Amino acid sequence: MDEFVHPLTARYASRTMRELFSPKRRITLWRRLWWELMAAQRDLGLPIPPEALQQLAAHLEPTAAEMARAAELEKETRHDVMAHIRALAEVAPAAGPWLHLGATSCYVTDNADLIILREASQLVLRRGAAVVAALASRAAQHRDLVCLGHTHFQPAQPTTVGKRACLWLQDLLVDLKHLEEEGSRLLLLGSKGTTGTQASFLELFGSREKVEALDRRIAQAFGFDGTYPVTGQTSPRKVEFYLVAPLSGLAQSAYRFATDIRLLARLGEVEEPQEATQVGSSAMPYKRNPMRCERMTGLARYLIELLGNLAWTAASQWLERTLDDSANRRLVLPEAFLAADALLILWHNVASGLVVYPAVIQRNLRQELPFLATEAILMHATAKGGNRQELHELLRQLSRKAAQAIKGEGQDNPLLALVAAEPRFQLSQEELESLLQPRRFAGCAADQVDHFLEAHVHPWLAAHGQGAEGGEVEV
């Protein structure tokens, strides 16, 4: 177990997140949990000698040699916790007779997991806040830059670049708020014993009050509000499902953002940041592939699917304990947070360095505006005395003719000229051109950006700071 690495996502995640899930961090927590248990038991009346605590305190952080010794012992015992107990007893012999008294493996494994999950959730929140700040900056910067809207990836009523950024931002905020809420609910397993009844500790102390005091001491030592009131041998697996669910949601939001950028890059309207020496293709020197966004979608798909494992883990608990979730959790829980960390590093990099091309946006918009203006043309022509139904049919026919000229002959959009040449509309070329002001088609988009940022985003950032940008994008 101690040699376990996370090859799928560790390459892309930050050093900080990797260290949270490292073997050394985990075993350091195990040793501290044993120390807190022993200290509380001594205070509650067990005859544990002071040197036992002193020696254990001197070895809370395992050395490389101690980790290697535990790995050696695990080959004999086929039990990771017992291997580490024996390795620790060799360097802290006074503590050896008292180590793990009344506890089960889950006392160290599950409590340590919950501590790490809380810290990992907080790191994800800080990284998420940095992405929120970057997207908010982009939304404000381009609040009124009108661009062609798309439904079904077909030209539709215009929006603004800033409004589109707010759509991405709103999704992310939902995920981060959900994660914060679930993280705030985390409790510890505490000291519950073999089937969760605390019978071993009641046998030790002979007092329910002391058993409850022991549980409180463990929670307080690690800054938790308390422990789960009823458990089997393990901490509730349902809690882990709900904690990772927002990470799956975050991956969904990241996938949407990255896909939108890839689509817009193909239209030439935006581009992810690229280094001057970056190579896009080994065969085609001109290529500027959206490498970061493609990696985001790949990692996002992986993270989205991890949630199903946790659903099965929660569903497949047998009575008070089963071991078939052990290997799965050791894979899924670290990978979920490593993937989320990597996604947010990439997302921040793309959002903060996003390149926007207003001239291309204008060109694409201009090509489609005559079609989008047909309703306004219909209104103005009807106001001049035309028959609405006849004009509607005429516009339909002229629009098809214009589309054929664009697609079949490669022309610029000729619709306005066709309408101006038709006397039944009674509209000049100049009057028609006046109907094509982009802002009139974007509705309240710019105002929606202002309101969303002021009412929802800025207050959230004020409460959470600008976040942790951290972490470089790894090749």
Cα dihedral 139→141→142→143 (10° resolution): 70
Q: At what angle do helices 64-77 and 23-43 cross, to 10 degrees?
A: 80
Spatial CA neighbour of 230 closest among 271, 272, 262, 187 = 187
Query: What is the rounded CA–CA span in Å between residue 247 and residue 270?
Result: 27
DSSP E strands in 145-224: the ranges are: 146-151, 154-160
Count of C-beta atoms within a 10 Å radius of residue 276: 4
Map tokens 């002979």 to a residue.
206
> What separation, in Å, do the N-terminal and C-terminal C-alpha atoms of the chain show?
28
- Active-site annotation holds for 281: yes
> Distance between CA 270 and CA 264 in Å, rounded?
6
d(CA 462, CA 470): 19
CA 176 to mean position of chain CA atoms? 8
| Distance of alpha carbon 371 from alpha carbon 365, whole angstroms | 10
Distance of CA 368 to the CA centre of its chain: 36
Distance CA 171, CA 132 (A): 10
Tokens of 387: 């028959």
Contacts of 389-394 with CB under 8 Å at 24 or more apart are 390/424, 391/424, 391/425, 394/422, 394/424, 394/425
Residue with tokens 């089963």: 322
Distance CA 184, CA 451 (A): 29
Amino acid at 31: R
Pairing relation of β-strands 270-271 and 154-160? Answer: unpaired
Other beta carbons within 10 angstroms of residue 48's beta carbon come to 18
Full DSSP string of 357-386: -HHHHHHHHHHHHHHHTHHHHHHHHHHTT-
**Residues, the chain, total?**
475
Give the CB-side neighbour count of residue 309, counting CA atoms within 13 A: 20
Query: 281, 316, 428, 434: which is the annotated catalytic residue?
Result: 281
- Return the H-helix or E-strand segment holding 155: strand 154-160
Q: Which residues contact 282 (CB under 8 A, 6 or more apart)?
A: none
Instruction: List active site positions.
Output: 152, 281
